[in-house]
Chain A
Amino acid sequence: MPESGSPELDAGSTRRTPPTIEEAARLILLEIAPADVRFLPLACADFFGNAVARRRAVRATLRGRERDQPTGFDAGEGMQLVLGVVLTLLNGVACEVLTGMATERVGRVRSRWQDRRRQRALTSATAPEGEHTRLPRLSAIEAAAIGRQAGEIVRQAGLPEEDAQRVNTLLAAALTGQGS
């Protein structure tokens, strides 16, 4: 098992082995929300250990907001913690749900229907080894498409454009084994 944040090199190749979900999440978080990194183990345990919590996190990510809860505070503050968003994306990539969808978006009507399908797929899919599941290694074209898709989901989740761009780049790099 490589150390966190340093995926091992493939033998005889300049490309590294694709990172695990946790490693990739750590890389992304270090870039866009360094303060969240210390909570990553807790979040991973909850995301992969509890189907209900995972479903709620995925739905909140795709909806772009958390559910309004009675007797809550709910000051309309928007997304403050990106752990759920990042884990949703990486779980989708690991389960190849995001991979399949990156090339399907055509037309508005179909896209809306696909959004629903994507939501269902993302909520039901779980990486087989949890946070230790390795992300697939993809070609540069496929990785770029997934990166764009991920960036769009990040945007949809309500995070700033700058974060969406970073996630796009980091994820694409990780999937092609270029990540640091």
Chain B
Amino acid sequence: MATLGGPPRDEPAPADEHEDGRLAPVEPGAGILPAATPPPRLDPFALPAATTARFLLMIVVAVTSSIHLYVALFSWFVDATNSVNAAPYGCALTTQATAGRIPDRDLVTAYIGCVQGVTARNGFVLIGMVLVLVAVAVAIYLVHPRLVMLSRPRPLAQLAVDEGMAAVVRRVEEAVRAVAPKAEVYVATLRATASGRTFGRFPRYRIILDLGLLREADTDPGRLDAVLAHELAHLRNRDVGLTTFAFAIWWAYVLVVALPTLVVTVIEPIRFANLSWRLAIMLALLWLARTSVLRTREYYADLRSGSTPESERLLLSALHPRRPDAGKRRWGLLSYHPGDDERVSVLGGAPRLFRIGVAEPAAAGMLVGLGYSPCVYLVTMIWGADSTSFNAHRLVVGLVFGALATGAVAGTAWRAGLLARATHTRPPSTLLAALALTAGVLGGQLVAPPLTTSGSWASILGANPAVAIALAILLAVLFQLMLRWALLCATVWLPLARRVRSAALIGSIQSALIFGSWLSFWFGVIELMTDGAPTWNLLWVSLFSTTLNPTLQLCVLLACAFPLAGWAARRGLPPRPPSDIWRDAPPSRLAAPRVPLPAVNITALTIVLVYAAGTIPFYGRLYAALGRVPFSGTVTPAVMIGVFTPVFVAGLAVAVLGAFCFGLISGGRGNTSSAVAGAGLLMLLAVFGIVPLAFTHLSAAACGAEGMWSCLALLPGHLGLSRSGPIFTIGFAVLILAGTAAAWAGSALRSGTQALSTGPTGSLSPWGSEPQDDVTRRPVSALLALVPTTLAAALFGYLAIAAVAGAQGERVAVDRAAVIRELNAAPKGPLLPVQACVAAGSVTAELALSDAFGSGMVIGMARGAGYAMATRDPIAQAMGREGAAALLAGDLARAVDANNALRNICMVSGVVSAR
């Protein structure tokens, strides 16, 4: 057990253990506190608690995860009642009747419209079922106070008839009136404990006190005061409403989701056997998540009620076990309250509420893994699949879950950041939390029943375990980056904020945006991978396509800009006032991390200059390579990659070398985080030099010194500005990965040499070692530091708008020869419809990396269309013809529609013929 401790010092030091298990920094020299002086304790209310977000996440997941079971129940109902019109195969029957009598394009449009209409109707039915769940939960929430009052506790005033109790009653009434004038107090005469309970709903809250507690008040008034203060603290902390609703949603889930599922499982055990164990795990998870949050809320209630030395003493006395075996809980995970020892230790200053735990991220991850996919599934049913690169429906759901998960997880990172800043210790490792979060999400995906359109990691694991593991590692890396970034932001912004609480709230909003977008794009990759055969090729294409998404780019830029803005603000603003962060010490100033901004600017400039001059000697070779490139007409993605690769490899080499040197200079023991963050900024600056220089080098090498400017003007036109954006993005993505890794390596090398020269414990220099007051105000420098990020945001914003605007009816460069070759390569004989279905369903089988930049899947769609035309089925023929015509016309959206229609009708055709 550790302790918060230590007022701010100029020099950081490793932490040491107190006798009572609390940790306090060991201060060298004059800063050592006397042994008898307890270290000051951080105020847990200085930052927002993460529990509200955990509560809300649990409630949202209870609602959304019900969709899994409702889909199965609805499907069973449709089958049982033979409701043909409710299912998409009604559309197949209609299309069968009109095939050959209307144009192919109209047939595809009519079929897709019909399927979307049916799907939307089904979606509304599901929403109705979910609303029933919510309505039952609300009803339970409303009726809950009545349920508690069924035991008819007596109003407190009735006890005043006893003369001895009149004073006690007055004492209680006064205490309650001071905090919650409208709260009503009752007495439970038969409860054997000396405790209390708060319940009710706004605005009528009630407190029930046990008679044993009031009886003791004559001899031991302290316990009554402590319990009453604890109950009133629950009211002040606004625990009652959320607690009751969490209780209500669980019971509603049992009544409206679990019970019907169990009934249907009894009727059709084979069909629903697979759902039973998942349902059991979901119920258990929701229960455990609720008890976990409630236990944390108890700590906050204790801390709120023990806010003064006297009230703390009374609370500690009340928590002291009266019997040797009291206070120990057999089922800690199922209990609503933590053990008394844990409560005492948190009250005494143990930093439990300031640590990045493992269980909380795992639970939050599992809830996200369970709840995200069905939510996207339902939104897609209502809105239809979004064909723009924004993937708005996924993004919106991602932002909702991102906000809740961030509140639950990144909030703890901010608290850990505050602990590190306040006690001058190193920020904690986030690796275990990131792994727990990842394991939670993947576990949630394993437990959740797979849905047809939203994809599942479990399906990928079954089809290609190696790819699934790669995706899991990617997720873990994203989470680790997110948590480290949150910690970095906390350590940068907390020392700057007038109110640390506001800084944490703003930081949480930023985290929600970034985490939500990352989450939605990871699930987007999962969806893409589940849609086709999950091969390595498809993985790379999906990842590159995702990297090129402008929304993601903007979110990454936001992530870069936020800590950078903090660095800039620190240089531009006067020293901030002390922060009120201690429970029992005056406000103090938090130490800010070291700002390697000058080193960043100098290194970026050096990289650009070296790249500008260093590539000139290789123009001869470049010209030899570029001589064969046709710089006219359509430039295919493959050609583009071939042209840009040599110049970018050179830029990459220079940038990596520069970042390594940067890490070597500004890194070292305790400075690795700032060095890595600085390297990220460095790469953002460098990419704005390297990409234009790459264009310049290409023009100069291809057209010579005289024709360079005219070629340079033509080059973006050949490539198209909408495809130049991806070049910046890929350049930045590659550079940031390689650059930060190089900076980390440089810093690690310096750390190693420091360790060799000073020994493993000597000369520790954490990055909070420099007090912030010595920073000279440089407002202009601060503003200049933000210029590249602002420029990048403007560029990517423009590209994002262009991408959305161009997504509707976009004509893409299609290799007509390749399309015709694929159409002709289809077998001539009459094929079985199933062969066309297989061909249409495997459009992603031969994807190449270049497809991420251009039309993508064209070859596969052409093959599917060719096979469909070779069948005798009139619907398949019509859809194949429509697909081929769209591809030859370069209308990718139409071709995708035709392919989707073919695949969809393939799925339902078996049902049609069976009926």
Q: Is B481 an interface residue (CB 8 A)?
A: no
- 66-90 of chain A: CB within 8 A of chain B: 66, 68-85, 87
Q: A39-B211, A50-B152, A78-B326 are in contact. Are A71 and B340 (CB under 8 A)?
A: no
Q: How many whole Å from B721's CB to the nearest CB in chain A?
A: 58
Please name all residues of chain A whose beta carbon is closer than 8 Å to the beta carbon of B198 when the two chains form the complex. Answer: 71-72
Q: Are the CB atoms of B243 and A71 closer together than 8 Å? A: yes
Q: Are the CB atoms of B197 and A71 closer together than 8 Å? A: yes
Interface window among B112-120, B329-337, B376-384, B711-719: B329-337
Please name all residues of chain A whose beta carbon is closer than 8 Å to the beta carbon of B337 when the two chains form the complex. Answer: 68, 72, 74, 76
Q: Are the CB atoms of A53 and B243 closer together than 8 Å? A: no
Q: Quick one: which of A39, A52, A57, A71 contacts B231, CB cutoff 8 A?
A: A71
Question: Measured between alpha carbons, how far is A49 from B190 in the docked complex, in Å?
Answer: 12
Q: Are the CB atoms of A53 and B154 closer together than 8 Å? A: no
Interface window among B64-72, B316-324, B582-590: B316-324
Q: Is A42 an interface residue (CB 8 A)?
A: yes
**Nearest residue in A to B219 (C-beta to C-beta)?**
A35
Question: Measured between alpha carbons, how far is A125 from B877 in the docked complex, in Å?
Answer: 77
Please name all residues of chain A whose beta carbon is closer than 8 Å to the beta carbon of B335 when the two chains form the complex. Answer: 68
- 236-274 of chain B: CB within 8 A of chain A: 239-240, 243, 247
Q: Are the CB atoms of B190 and A43 closer together than 8 Å? A: yes
- 37-63 of chain A: CB within 8 A of chain B: 38-39, 42-43, 46-47, 49-50, 52-54, 56-57, 60-61
Q: A52-B151, A76-B326, A80-B216 are in contact. Are A47 and B321 (CB under 8 A)?
A: no
Question: Measured between alpha carbons, how far is A56 from B147 in the docked complex, in Å?
Answer: 13
Q: Quick one: which of A50, A56, A81 contacts B211, CB cutoff 8 A?
A: A81
Q: Are the CB atoms of B151 and A53 closer together than 8 Å? A: yes
Q: How many whole Å from B146's CB to the nearest CB in chain A?
A: 11
Q: Quick one: which of A42, A56, A68, A80 contacts B194, CB cutoff 8 A?
A: A80
Q: Are the CB atoms of A76 and B189 closer together than 8 Å? A: no
Most-contacted residue by chain B among A49, A69, A75, A79 (CB, 10 A): A75
Q: Is B195 an interface residue (CB 8 A)?
A: yes
Please name all residues of chain A whose beta carbon is closer than 8 Å to the beta carbon of B329 when the two chains form the complex. Answer: 76
Q: Quick one: which of A46, A76, A157 contacts B192, CB cutoff 8 A?
A: A157
Please name all residues of chain B whose beta carbon is closer than 8 Å to the beta carbon of A54 when the two chains form the complex. Answer: 190
Q: Are the CB atoms of B151 and A74 closer together than 8 Å? A: no
Q: Are the CB atoms of B192 and A82 closer together than 8 Å? A: yes
Q: Are the CB atoms of A66 and B195 closer together than 8 Å? A: yes
Q: Are the CB atoms of A75 and B340 closer together than 8 Å? A: yes
Question: Measured between alpha carbons, how far is A27 from B129 in the docked complex, in Å?
Answer: 58
Please name all residues of chain B whose beta carbon is closer than 8 Å to the beta carbon of A31 when the two chains form the complex. Answer: none
Q: Is B210 an interface residue (CB 8 A)?
A: yes
Question: Measured between alpha carbons, how far is A84 from B191 in the docked complex, in Å?
Answer: 7
**Nearest residue in A to B231 (C-beta to C-beta)?**
A73
Q: Are the CB atoms of B336 and A70 closer together than 8 Å? A: yes
Please name all residues of chain B whose beta carbon is closer than 8 Å to the beta carbon of A84 when the two chains form the complex. Answer: 190-192
Q: Are the CB atoms of A38 and B195 closer together than 8 Å? A: no
Q: Is B614 an interface residue (CB 8 A)?
A: no
- 843-891 of chain B: CB within 8 A of chain A: none
Please name all residues of chain B whose beta carbon is closer than 8 Å to the beta carbon of A83 when the two chains form the complex. Answer: 189-190, 192, 211
Q: Is A36 an interface residue (CB 8 A)?
A: yes
Please name all residues of chain A whose beta carbon is closer than 8 Å to the beta carbon of B339 when the two chains form the complex. Answer: 76
Q: Is B687 an interface residue (CB 8 A)?
A: no
Question: Measured between alpha carbons, how far is A39 from B247 in the docked complex, in Å?
Answer: 33
Question: Measured between alpha carbons, how far is A70 from B321 in the docked complex, in Å?
Answer: 20
Question: Measured between alpha carbons, how far is A42 from B210 in the docked complex, in Å?
Answer: 13
Please name all residues of chain B whose beta carbon is closer than 8 Å to the beta carbon of A76 when the two chains form the complex. Answer: 321, 326-329, 337, 339-340
**Nearest residue in A to B322 (C-beta to C-beta)?**
A77
- 282-329 of chain B: CB within 8 A of chain A: 294, 297, 301, 318-319, 321-323, 325-329
Question: Measured between alpha carbons, how far is A72 from B213 in the docked complex, in Å?
Answer: 13
Q: Are the CB atoms of B193 and A66 closer together than 8 Å? A: yes
Q: Are the CB atoms of B190 and A46 closer together than 8 Å? A: yes
Q: A69-B197, A75-B195 are in contact. Are A46 and B243 (CB under 8 A)?
A: no
Question: Measured between alpha carbons, how far is A120 from B212 in the docked complex, in Å?
Answer: 26
Please name all residues of chain A whose beta carbon is closer than 8 Å to the beta carbon of B231 when the two chains form the complex. Answer: 71-73
Q: How many whole Å from B490's CB to the nearest CB in chain A?
A: 30
Please name all residues of chain B whose beta carbon is closer than 8 Å to the beta carbon of A39 when the two chains form the complex. Answer: 189, 211, 215
Q: Are the CB atoms of A81 and B191 closer together than 8 Å? A: yes
Q: How many whole Å from B325's CB to the nearest CB in chain A?
A: 8
Question: Measured between alpha carbons, how far is A72 from B297 in the docked complex, in Å?
Answer: 11
**Chain B residues proximal to chain A, CB less than 8 Å:** 150-152, 154, 158-159, 162, 164, 188-199, 210-213, 215-216, 226-227, 230-231, 234, 239-240, 243, 247, 294, 297, 301, 318-319, 321-323, 325-329, 335-337, 339-340, 343
Apart from A75-B321, A81-B211, list 7 A-B contacts with CB within 8 A.
Answer: A57-B192, A69-B336, A71-B240, A72-B197, A73-B196, A80-B212, A83-B211
Closest 5 CB pairs of A and B: A81-B212, A80-B212, A76-B327, A80-B194, A57-B190
**Chain A residues proximal to chain B, CB less than 8 Å:** 35-36, 38-39, 42-43, 46-47, 49-50, 52-54, 56-57, 60-61, 66, 68-85, 87, 157
Q: Can you report 28 residue pairs joining A to B where beta carbons are below 8 Å apart?
A: A36-B215, A39-B211, A42-B158, A46-B190, A54-B190, A56-B191, A57-B191, A57-B192, A68-B337, A69-B197, A71-B234, A71-B239, A72-B336, A73-B227, A73-B230, A74-B336, A76-B321, A76-B327, A76-B339, A78-B323, A80-B192, A80-B193, A81-B192, A81-B193, A83-B190, A84-B190, A84-B192, A157-B192
